[in-house]
Amino acid sequence: MTDNYLLKLYHKVLKWPFGRQLFSRLFASKAPYFKSIKPLIIELRPNFCELTIPKRKAVQNHIGTVHAIALCNGLEMAMGAVAEASIPKHLRWIPKGMTVNYTAKADSDIRITAEADPNGWKVGDLDVAVNGYRQDGTTVITGTITIYISEKPARKSS
Protein backbone atom coordinates (compact mmCIF):
# COMPACT_ATOMS: atom_id res chain seq x y z
CA MET A 1 0.00 0.00 0.00
CA THR A 2 0.99 3.62 0.00
CA ASP A 3 1.47 6.27 2.63
CA ASN A 4 -0.17 8.93 0.44
CA TYR A 5 -3.22 10.32 2.29
CA LEU A 6 -5.40 10.58 -0.82
CA LEU A 7 -4.65 7.10 -2.13
CA LYS A 8 -5.24 5.64 1.35
CA LEU A 9 -8.64 7.35 1.48
CA TYR A 10 -9.47 6.26 -2.08
CA HIS A 11 -8.73 2.60 -1.41
CA LYS A 12 -10.54 2.66 1.93
CA VAL A 13 -13.69 4.27 0.54
CA LEU A 14 -13.78 1.96 -2.52
CA LYS A 15 -14.60 -0.91 -0.14
CA TRP A 16 -17.87 0.79 0.88
CA PRO A 17 -21.16 0.64 -1.01
CA PHE A 18 -21.15 3.52 -3.50
CA GLY A 19 -17.55 4.21 -2.44
CA ARG A 20 -16.47 5.52 -5.83
CA GLN A 21 -19.35 8.01 -5.86
CA LEU A 22 -18.63 9.08 -2.27
CA PHE A 23 -14.91 9.56 -2.93
CA SER A 24 -15.65 11.56 -6.08
CA ARG A 25 -18.03 13.85 -4.17
CA LEU A 26 -15.52 14.32 -1.36
CA PHE A 27 -12.73 15.19 -3.77
CA ALA A 28 -14.98 17.46 -5.86
CA SER A 29 -15.88 19.40 -2.74
CA LYS A 30 -12.25 20.65 -2.57
CA ALA A 31 -13.18 23.18 -5.27
CA PRO A 32 -16.87 24.08 -5.57
CA TYR A 33 -16.81 24.36 -9.35
CA PHE A 34 -15.78 20.68 -9.60
CA LYS A 35 -19.16 19.72 -8.16
CA SER A 36 -20.91 21.44 -11.07
CA ILE A 37 -19.72 18.72 -13.50
CA LYS A 38 -20.82 15.80 -11.27
CA PRO A 39 -17.56 13.89 -11.86
CA LEU A 40 -16.99 10.23 -11.07
CA ILE A 41 -13.40 9.16 -10.48
CA ILE A 42 -13.01 5.78 -12.17
CA GLU A 43 -9.33 5.17 -11.44
CA LEU A 44 -6.72 6.89 -9.31
CA ARG A 45 -3.14 5.80 -8.89
CA PRO A 46 0.21 7.60 -8.71
CA ASN A 47 0.64 9.68 -11.87
CA PHE A 48 -2.75 8.74 -13.35
CA CYS A 49 -6.41 9.65 -12.91
CA GLU A 50 -9.46 8.83 -14.98
CA LEU A 51 -12.87 10.34 -14.37
CA THR A 52 -16.13 10.79 -16.22
CA ILE A 53 -18.40 13.77 -16.73
CA PRO A 54 -22.01 12.95 -17.58
CA LYS A 55 -23.52 14.93 -20.45
CA ARG A 56 -26.51 16.67 -18.94
CA LYS A 57 -28.36 19.94 -19.46
CA ALA A 58 -26.41 21.82 -16.76
CA VAL A 59 -23.08 21.40 -18.60
CA GLN A 60 -24.31 21.83 -22.17
CA ASN A 61 -23.78 24.82 -24.41
CA HIS A 62 -26.14 26.33 -26.98
CA ILE A 63 -25.51 23.51 -29.50
CA GLY A 64 -26.13 20.72 -27.00
CA THR A 65 -22.54 19.59 -26.42
CA VAL A 66 -20.58 19.59 -23.17
CA HIS A 67 -19.29 23.14 -22.90
CA ALA A 68 -15.63 24.11 -22.88
CA ILE A 69 -15.48 25.21 -19.24
CA ALA A 70 -17.03 21.93 -18.04
CA LEU A 71 -14.37 20.06 -20.02
CA CYS A 72 -11.62 22.23 -18.52
CA ASN A 73 -13.04 21.68 -15.02
CA GLY A 74 -12.77 17.95 -15.63
CA LEU A 75 -9.19 18.27 -16.86
CA GLU A 76 -8.23 20.38 -13.85
CA MET A 77 -9.89 18.00 -11.39
CA ALA A 78 -8.11 14.98 -12.87
CA MET A 79 -4.79 16.85 -12.79
CA GLY A 80 -5.37 17.86 -9.16
CA ALA A 81 -6.07 14.26 -8.19
CA VAL A 82 -2.88 13.14 -9.94
CA ALA A 83 -0.87 15.83 -8.16
CA GLU A 84 -2.28 15.04 -4.71
CA ALA A 85 -1.88 11.27 -5.22
CA SER A 86 1.67 11.53 -6.53
CA ILE A 87 3.63 14.41 -5.03
CA PRO A 88 6.24 13.57 -2.38
CA LYS A 89 5.38 14.77 1.13
CA HIS A 90 8.15 17.41 1.23
CA LEU A 91 6.86 19.18 -1.89
CA ARG A 92 3.80 21.27 -2.78
CA TRP A 93 2.24 22.27 -6.09
CA ILE A 94 0.19 25.02 -7.67
CA PRO A 95 -1.23 25.29 -11.21
CA LYS A 96 0.78 27.61 -13.42
CA GLY A 97 -0.88 27.36 -16.81
CA MET A 98 -3.20 25.41 -19.04
CA THR A 99 -3.19 24.89 -22.78
CA VAL A 100 -6.04 23.07 -24.49
CA ASN A 101 -7.23 22.24 -27.96
CA TYR A 102 -10.83 21.31 -28.71
CA THR A 103 -10.66 18.60 -31.34
CA ALA A 104 -14.25 17.33 -31.75
CA LYS A 105 -17.77 17.92 -30.47
CA ALA A 106 -18.28 16.65 -26.92
CA ASP A 107 -21.71 15.16 -27.63
CA SER A 108 -21.76 12.30 -25.10
CA ASP A 109 -20.60 11.55 -21.59
CA ILE A 110 -16.90 12.43 -21.42
CA ARG A 111 -14.01 10.36 -20.08
CA ILE A 112 -11.10 12.50 -18.83
CA THR A 113 -7.54 11.33 -18.16
CA ALA A 114 -4.57 13.04 -16.56
CA GLU A 115 -1.08 11.57 -16.60
CA ALA A 116 2.22 12.80 -15.18
CA ASP A 117 5.81 11.67 -15.61
CA PRO A 118 6.74 9.67 -12.49
CA ASN A 119 10.23 11.25 -12.58
CA GLY A 120 8.88 14.81 -12.75
CA TRP A 121 8.09 15.29 -9.06
CA LYS A 122 10.90 17.71 -8.23
CA VAL A 123 11.21 21.47 -7.79
CA GLY A 124 10.29 23.30 -10.99
CA ASP A 125 7.63 22.92 -13.66
CA LEU A 126 5.84 19.67 -14.40
CA ASP A 127 3.57 19.25 -17.41
CA VAL A 128 0.57 17.00 -16.81
CA ALA A 129 -1.01 15.58 -19.98
CA VAL A 130 -4.81 15.89 -19.93
CA ASN A 131 -7.28 14.49 -22.46
CA GLY A 132 -11.02 14.04 -22.88
CA TYR A 133 -12.82 11.41 -24.94
CA ARG A 134 -16.37 10.81 -26.14
CA GLN A 135 -18.03 7.46 -25.53
CA ASP A 136 -16.99 6.34 -29.04
CA GLY A 137 -13.32 6.98 -28.16
CA THR A 138 -12.93 10.16 -30.19
CA THR A 139 -10.68 12.75 -28.53
CA VAL A 140 -12.68 15.94 -27.85
CA ILE A 141 -10.09 17.91 -25.89
CA THR A 142 -6.37 17.55 -25.40
CA GLY A 143 -4.00 19.67 -23.41
CA THR A 144 -1.31 20.24 -20.87
CA ILE A 145 -1.59 21.69 -17.40
CA THR A 146 1.70 23.00 -16.08
CA ILE A 147 2.12 22.91 -12.33
CA TYR A 148 4.87 24.57 -10.36
CA ILE A 149 6.43 22.38 -7.69
CA SER A 150 8.31 23.82 -4.73
CA GLU A 151 9.63 22.73 -1.35
CA LYS A 152 7.22 23.03 1.54
CA PRO A 153 8.43 25.70 3.96
CA ALA A 154 10.10 24.46 7.12
CA ARG A 155 7.70 24.24 10.04
CA LYS A 156 8.35 26.64 12.86
CA SER A 157 8.84 24.92 16.18
CA SER A 158 7.08 26.43 19.15
pLDDT attached to residue 154: 84
C-alpha span between 45 and 85 (Å, rounded) = 7
Question: What digits encode the pLDDT tens for the residues 4-21?
Answer: 999 999 999 999 999 999
Question: What digits encode the pLDDT tens for the residues 88-109?
Answer: 999 999 999 999 999 999 999 9
> 5-151 architecture in CATH?
Roll (3.10)
pLDDT attached to residue 85: 97
pLDDT attached to residue 104: 97
Position 132, amino acid: G
Residues (pLDDT < 50) of the chain are none
Predicted model pTM? 0.93
3-class secondary structure per residue, the chain: CCCCHHHHHHHHHHCCCCHHHHHHHHHHCCCHHHHCCCCEEEEEECCEEEEEECCCHHHECCCCCECHHHHHHHHHHHHHHHHHHHCCCCEEEEEEEEEEEECCCCCCCEEEEEECCHHHCCCEEEEEEEEEECCCCCEEEEEEEEEEEEECCCCCCC
Residue ranges per structural domain of the chain: 5-151
The total of other beta-carbon atoms located within 10 Å of residue 136's CB is 8
Position 147, amino acid: I
